[in-house]
A and B are shown apart, each in its own frame.
Chain A
Amino acid sequence: MAASRGRTVGSLIWRCGSCCDNGNIVSSSLSSQVKVFSRQVSLSAAVHRKNLAAAGPEKFSEEFIKKQVEEFNIGKRHLANMMGEDVENFTQEDIDRSIAYLFPSSLFDKKARPLMKHPDEIFPRQRAVQWGADRRPFHFLFYTGKQSYYNLMHDTFARVLAAEKQQDRLRARSLLPEPSKKSSLGGSRWLFKEELEELLVETISDYDYQRFLQLVMRLQERGSSGEEDFLLSLRRRLEVQSSRQEVPPLQVDEQGHSYSTAEGRRKSATGSVVLTDRGSGDVIINGSLCHHYFTVLQDREQLMFPLVFTGVLGRFNVRCSVAGGGHSSQAGALRLALSRALLSFLSQGQVENMRQAGLLTPDPRVRERKKPGQEGARRKFTWNKR
């Protein structure tokens, strides 16, 4: 393999993720202290490639892996001896610490630094040999090439047939149950193609994935009660988006009123807001009143919109401080800060409404740079025919 290099090592096993051409040579002092097993050990940059197990036939044989495990254990004991620590209870954290101490590396990429881990974490999970002593394959769909995928399709189709048969029987006796509107499959989504590949330890094509989805949706339509566990195993829970919002903590000041603080940014303006409960609806920005600071109506509307949307217009006292940018971006920064500060006073449903209204999304638009050969960011110089 072009990606692997052989290196002479001491009793330690080297694994560097993408260190094909790095000159990581073991210091001679290490080998003089410890009994040296000079052996060519091949490194692999394929450690960090995704889904190696399904890449093809076995690259690492079982004996090789077993040998690596033995060498790792021996090396661990030597390392513990070297560091003067307890040989029996030497954990992975101790190993990492010792390696970082013995071989300090200032490389930026963490994956390029020397590491010593158990071979099970380095060499990916492989499919074991598919046939027995008489060389008959174990699985009845072995000769298709994609046995796990086609096995899944076969089982799913068997369930579809069983569900259809049951429905026919019930319909014949006119005992067909009403289609229930509430399904236990709500709030989840089907597996993605990558997740399916991981599950089956096999590569499948886009067409295979489409066929899988069609079959599994067909089973869902049949709506029989027994198949829900099977279908759920092929689905993943959807996270409720609003639960991901970071709500600023609610604090209490000397008079017993609760308040919260939050920050917001827009273009190059940064603002911070302190919302105090049980106030009279005053808004003060950088020490001056709202009408004096923001002369334009649009800016004032932007600032008030979160309060208007949630319907808490006269309830809070707002103290803002803002710097940078122009008047419009300052208004936008304060609006975001105000929405975030408001989260700690609201219920989950209102938080979700605010998120869907776009009040909690920071505006990603920034000024685009001017490019050479052009007048501005997009504007080109006047085109001359000659």
Chain B
Amino acid sequence: MAAGTLAKEKHLNQTLESSDYFRLSELFSLKELFDARVHLGHKKGCRHRLMEPYLFGSRLEQDIIDLDKTVEHLQAALNFTAHIAYRGGIILFVSRRRQFGHLVESTARDCGEYAHTRYWQGGLLTNAPIQYGPGVRLPDLVIFLSTLNNVFEQHVAIRDAAKMNIPTVGVVDSNCNPCLVTYPVPGNDDTPAAVELYCRLFKTTINRAKDRRKQLELLQGLSAPPPTPES
């Protein structure tokens, strides 16, 4: 079925041609981000040096994140997520904030993807065949709703995903290190309103991409499960 695979590849390349194939810019606006308090960062003392390009300024020693940059980065991140979901990739939501653990797990379950909001055991990504069993498939994208763990250090999964060549999308606050995250999204990760907004956005993106995929398969009359993503 070489002709079939060539046609699939051609179609997948076509989806990459337009900048916003899934029309995700209509899902959020700068006003919505502002209302959800995404622009609020931590105090000046907690600021990470590498976050300075993303900050608009500071008011009364509290850092304010530049929402223009957030909109661009969020658009890029959602677009990437949608394309991964469109190609049937495995998405893993990670967050170590106990306040939002249940919310993140529910979000993951609702879009048919996976979540890990618990204690991260050492070799989950780097020692996967031994941890899970031979022939396991690793996640194709890791989404961090908060890049810090419970002791305010960078989550181990960022480094491990980078080691295993897994792209990451992460919400980075003003005290986080955006270095190893492939698609950082500067924004608030502490307020419930902001986190609920992110969860809603990711869920809608993934569901939209998957519905589009199902439509495509119905049109082409295929009954096979979605193919593995092109790497």
Contacts and interface: CB of A to CB of B under 8 A. Distances in A.
A150 interface: yes
13 contacts: A129-B133, A134-B225, A135-B228, A136-B137, A137-B137, A140-B105, A140-B108, A141-B105, A143-B114, A143-B139, A144-B116, A145-B121, A150-B118
A141 B137 contact: no
B90 to A, nearest CB: 6
A102 B190 CA distance: 73
Nearest to A149: B118
B124 to A, nearest CB: 6
Main secondary structure of the interface of A (DSSP, over half): loop
B76 to A, nearest CB: 25
Most central of A129, A130, A135 by chain B CB within 10 Å: A135
B8 interface: no
Interface residues of A, number: 23
Contacts of A131: 136-137
B163 interface: no
Contacts, number: 58
Contacts of B113: 140
Interface of A: 57-58, 129-137, 140-146, 150, 154, 157-158, 161
Given A130-B132, A143-B116, 5 more contacts: A135-B135, A141-B114, A141-B115, A145-B121, A161-B102
Main secondary structure of the interface of B (DSSP, over half): loop
Interface residues of B, number: 27
A150 B226 CA distance: 28
A158 B133 contact: no
A289 B204 CA distance: 94
B224 to A, nearest CB: 9
A363 B162 CA distance: 67
B136 to A, nearest CB: 7
Contacts of B112: 140
B133 A137 contact: no
A133 B225 contact: yes
A233 B102 CA distance: 23
